[in-house]
Structure 1
Amino acid sequence: MFNIVKANEPLIIKNVNILIYGEPGVGKTSLANTAINPLTLDFDNGIHRSDNRKDVFVVENWKVVNNNMNDFMKLLSGYNTIIIDTVDTLLDYMGAWIIEQTPRYSQPKYKLQFYGSLKDEFAKLIGRLRTLGKDVVCLAHMKEKDEGDLRIKRPAITGGSYDRVMQLSDFVGYLFIKDNKRTLDFNPTDFWFGKNSAKFDQLQVPDFKSNPDFLSNLIIEMKNSINKQTQAQAESVITITKYNQRIQDSKKPEDFNFLMSEMSNLKNGVKVQLWENMQKKANQLGFEFLKKEKKFVAKQEEVTTTKELEQDNIDEYLDNTDKVVADDSDFIF
């Protein structure tokens, strides 16, 4: 019933949330419909303009959906990918429903509460779709915003909900025309927003008739990339745990030096954590690290030589003499 994923076990990602934005007519809906077994939730009533349409459910208001949520979820159960077209219109519908439930939220002084409820309602929907194991593709129009000397392209999403939509998106891609060809870029640049944990290069979108599974294949790559990262994180935890135990078991400088040679091939992030623990343990045992020789040695006790003692006595004598001279006004040389 309950499944706890241990720190040293990979956390497998089974579904992703994607946000794709661009100008009207650039082919966002057609692109989204190349995902596996998709259902488009048409909030804009513009699905008829797509040249690659699959199954569609036209949503005219959020009240009907919210009042019949269980039936709505059953409706979606037979699909692998849910397309929200567009997310901004969905938020408009949700906003109208929220104000209908709480009329005072229409007043300017309740603006923060309104946007808080709107963000919660959207997150609740995405959470339900995740629970069903669905991949979610949110579509949005593009708008430009001046930031200093630059004009930045970003998703056209209702102000207070923008950050929440971006947070819930695993990938954010900008779709545009370049050299008369559709181009999809998940990389954030100086000119548009993006989110790209898979490190995709700028992608040329193929003709959908010749490659009807373009987004489906891309989503597989997204999941593989994320899961490789979580696998690497799990392996790092195992490595850190193993070496930390060996650090605690070390008793001699030679033990630490041997560990250092073994750790030389580890990833930098792992080495940093282990190095801090190694220095702390070595210091507790009375060892020090010689940077020039790059090795641990036992700390040397400071030995005061006869010459140093003689110089200390001279310095002390001069200090005392200075005090006498300064204090004795009758002293004449």
Structure 2
Amino acid sequence: MLHFLPAPLRGLIGATLLALNTLACCVPLFSVTLLKICLPFPAAQRLCRWLMDFIHEAWISCNKVWMNLLGNTQWQVEGLQGLDYQHSYLVTSNHQSWVDILVLQYLLNRRVRPLKFFLKQELIWVPVIGLCWWALGFPFMKRYSKAYLAKHPEKKGKDLQTTRRTCAKFSQTSVGIFNFLEGTRHTPAKHAAQQSPFKHLLKPKAGGIAFVLDAMGEQLHSIVNVTIHYPQGNPGFWDILSGNVDEVVVRFKELPIPAEFIGRNYDQDEAYRLQFQQWVNQLWLEKDAELSELKQRFPGH
């Protein structure tokens, strides 16, 4: 609607609306968080969780308004049919840009429960939004290097413990758990450094979703495997703020969770770990082929 405005002005408007939306949602969110801490009773906890989801979804809905206002994005989407708001899902996607998160929220809002992302522990210090993530129960993970774990073996398995504690909080309610299998955004430099066997993807890190299946596999209805393609090239955050994302192609595929992967210990069962990694690699081979097909069908202009 406002696409006729200069891009810098649209970006300023987008950034302002995003900031105002975030600040406006913080007040009720932090109030409910305080209430949740002070009233540790099941009925009060359920009410607080419902209110938090409502606030979270309202924030996403308001973001959709300014995205539609400032841009003229053409959405090419398939596979959303059949998702049920009452079910719990494990959602994963390829990762090319910070815009991926806003794309997923835009398309999945009120179709599944608000997505809970696994975040690096350092992100809790991001002003305002870090506290929002904490209040909403997003799991913060502390990553250790192999060299550090060699010197401090007692830290091994801490991520699994954090995942289990987080997932235990979701055992009484439907939830959307999200994990970027690649672990980081795809760039040509990272792709080359990894010597990735995939044409369009980094190597997948199977441990994250394996830990989720270990902790709450029986609660999850299915896996939602998402493939995102930007025909004009990977956009930056400023591009989405200024309405400069012309076209987004997204494919959703709902996959059953193999029964043999539920309740298994990824850390300690070597045979299972190899079997799970082979399954994930097959998913990635199929996603790589799908991206090749999408790039042919939706080339850049």
Could you state the TM-score of these two structures normalised by the residue count of structure 2? 0.33
- Higher share in strand: 1
